[in-house]
């Protein structure tokens, strides 16, 4: 049996572990943190990753712990509806820590190694078979050797920086703040994803379970900034003071406010693998969160890569010889078109959504009013497409 290691126990790494397990392939996960969890915020999943979680038998847990989302609602800052969009298939929004629990509860605990921060890898040779392997170096001084390394260590990936130093982070010069509140969305908005765009600022909110909602607020800002936890709430209330409705209430009734710079890894074509090492999720194709698709694509990567590995292992001769380069090229070929289109559209969508110009704002309101339903259906169909796995 080939020894497979996964670096990173986030949504991408744990999804990969679950998909490998589903196909009877052994693995070990190495996570830098002392526990498997995620910061207090929500994550939206579209129909394709939900479908994958159903293949893994995790969809019921997901539905029970999250909130069903049946549509989106574009509003102006006075909370007047511009356009309602009904989704053809349910999406789910869930607290990130709950999603991590669902993914990790399904994996034997001895397969997960915590406090293991990988900082370097090296090719090594199996002394018995002569086959090429990968040696992982951790910052506690330990090492581990594997036949196949799956890297899922996020946008700041240490291993990507080592293997592909030419890939840099692209910042959009926007800051996004996130928080969870026990305030609920009113009436039938409880199943909707609310979007408000106003002259460079953006406010979004959505339910994450039967008791709580999740909000995001965006404005222009240079990367690398820090908030003062004592004043950030007042600053955001001031920034969004002219927004009516529940924006202020949501911000006011939030304990922890999290700050992120909007960024991706650019829209250019790149390799997703080198030698016996392959990447999934943000580590190789992080996207701006404008379409709420980064985690969705990490889950789709996980499913596709596990299927490609399974196919290759089943076809391998009795010696167990496989050609990782071929397997990973197959995986990248299947996934790349969809993912890089999402990266591209998400970046452009951000340009429109976050435009400061009143003329562009007026245009986007008009666009939402007039955009034919079939165009949105087509977009949704493309997002939900899993046929590249066939
Ligand atoms: C504001 C915001 C909102 C978003 N909303 C959505 C949404 O609604 N829907 C959606 O689909 N996506 C959303 N995303 C994107 C989503 O969060 C990411 O795409 C997703 O978390 C990527 O998962 P990942 O496992 O690839 O990386 P990460 O989540 O970054 O996980 C990486 C893991 O690797 C570990 N790690 C890092 N370095 C090392 C190391 N050297 N050694 C060992 N372990 C390491 C980390 O501790 C972490 O556990 C959003 C992103 C942002 C910023």
Q: What is the DSSP string of 6-48?
A: EE--SHHHHHHHHHHHHTT---EEE-SSSSS---S-EEEE-HH
Q: Which atom of ligand 1 is nearest to the CA of 298?
A: 26
Q: How far is the CA of 154 from the centre of ligand 1 (A)?
A: 5
Domain ranges of the chain: 4-389
Q: How far is the CA of 320 from the centre of ligand 1 (A)?
A: 33
Could you give the 3-state DSSP secondary structure of residue 66? coil
Could you give the 3-state DSSP secondary structure of residue 315? helix
Alpha-carbon distance 5 to 328, whole Å?
A: 15
Q: Which atom of ligand 1 is nearest to the CA of 38?
A: 49
Q: Does the model's pTM come out above 0.95?
A: yes
Cα separations (Å) of 258 from 226, 235, 240?
10, 13, 16
Q: Which atom of ligand 1 is nearest to the CA of 15?
A: 25
Closest residue CA from atom 6 of ligand 1: 292
Fold held by 4-389: FAD/NAD(P)-binding domain (3.50.50)
Alpha-carbon distance 27 to 280, whole Å?
A: 15
Our mutation pick for probing the ligand 1 site, out of 154, 288, 305, counting the most ligand atoms within 8 A of Cβ, is: 154
Q: How far is the CA of 264 from the centre of ligand 1 (A)?
A: 12
Could you tell me if residue 358 is left (phi over 0), alpha (psi between -120 and 50 degrees) or otherwise beta?
A: alpha
Tens place of pLDDT per residue across the chain (390 aa): 789 999 999 999 999 999 999 999 999 999 999 999 988 799 999 999 999 999 999 999 999 999 999 999 999 999 999 999 999 999 999 999 999 999 999 999 999 999 999 999 999 999 988 899 999 999 999 999 999 999 999 999 999 999 999 999 999 999 999 999 999 999 989 999 999 999 999 999 999 999 999 999 999 999 999 999 999 999 999 999 999 888 999 999 999 999 999 999 999 999 999 999 999 999 999 999 999 999 999 999 999 999 999 999 999 876 678 899 999 999 999 999 999 999 999 999 999 999 999 999 999 999 999 999 999 999 999 999 999 999
The predicted structure's pLDDT at residue 361? 92
The predicted structure's pLDDT at residue 34? 97
Closest residue CA from atom 2 of ligand 1: 289
Alpha-carbon distance 245 to 237, whole Å?
A: 13
The predicted structure's pLDDT at residue 387? 97
Contact in structure between 16 and 280 (CB atoms under 8 Å): yes
Closest residue CA from atom 27 of ligand 1: 154
The predicted structure's pLDDT at residue 319? 67
Alpha-carbon distance 287 to 340, whole Å?
A: 9
Closest residue CA from atom 37 of ligand 1: 153
Alpha-carbon distance 117 to 28, whole Å?
A: 14
Our mutation pick for probing the ligand 1 site, out of 62, 282, 286, 347, counting the most ligand atoms within 8 A of Cβ, is: 282
């Amino acid at each position: 049996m080939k020894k497979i290691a996964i670096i990173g126990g986030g949504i991408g790494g744990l999804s990969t572990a679950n998909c490998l397990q589903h196909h009877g392939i052994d693995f070990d996960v190495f996570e830098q943190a002392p526990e498997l969890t995620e910061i207090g915020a929500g994550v939206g999943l579209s129909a394709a990753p939900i479908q994958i979680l159903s293949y893994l038998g995790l969809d019921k847990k997901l539905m029970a712990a999250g909130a069903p989302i049946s549509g989106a609602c574009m509003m102006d800052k006075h909370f007047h509806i511009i356009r309602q969009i009904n989704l053809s298939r349910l999406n789910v929004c869930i607290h990130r820590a709950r999603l991590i629990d669902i993914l990790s509860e399904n994996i034997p605990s001895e397969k997960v190694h915590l406090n293991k921060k990988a900082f370097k890898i090296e090719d090594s040779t199996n002394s018995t078979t002569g086959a090429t392997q990968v040696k992982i170096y951790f910052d506690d001084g330990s090492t581990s050797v594997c036949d196949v390394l799956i890297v899922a260590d996020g946008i700041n990936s240490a291993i990507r920086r080592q293997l592909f130093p030419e890939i840099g982070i692209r910042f959009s010069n926007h800051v996004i703040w996130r928080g969870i509140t026990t305030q609920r969305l009113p009436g039938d908005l409880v199943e909707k994803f609310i979007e408000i765009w106003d002259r460079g600022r953006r406010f979004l909110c959505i339910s994450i379970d039967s008791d709580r909602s999740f909000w995001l607020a965006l404005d222009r800002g240079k990367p690398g900034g820090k908030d003062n936890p004592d004043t950030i709430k007042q600053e955001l209330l001031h920034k969004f003071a002219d927004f009516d409705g529940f924006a202020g209430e949501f911000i006011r009734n939030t304990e922890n406010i999290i700050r992120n710079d909007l960024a991706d890894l650019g829209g250019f074509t790149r390799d997703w693998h080198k030698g016996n090492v392959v990447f999934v999720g943000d580590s190789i194709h992080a996207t701006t969160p404008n379409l709420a698709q980064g985690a969705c694509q990490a889950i789709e990567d996980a499913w596709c890569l596990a299927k490609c590995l399974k196919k290759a292992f089943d076809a391998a001769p009795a010696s167990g010889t496989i050609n990782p380069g071929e397997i990973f090229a197959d995986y990248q070929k299947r996934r790349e078109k969809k993912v890089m289109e999402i990266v591209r559209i998400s970046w452009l969508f951000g340009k429109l959504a976050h435009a400061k110009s009143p003329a562009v704002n007026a245009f986007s309101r008009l666009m939402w009013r007039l955009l034919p339903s079939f165009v949105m259906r087509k977009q949704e169909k493309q997002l939900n497409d899993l046929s590249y796995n066939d």
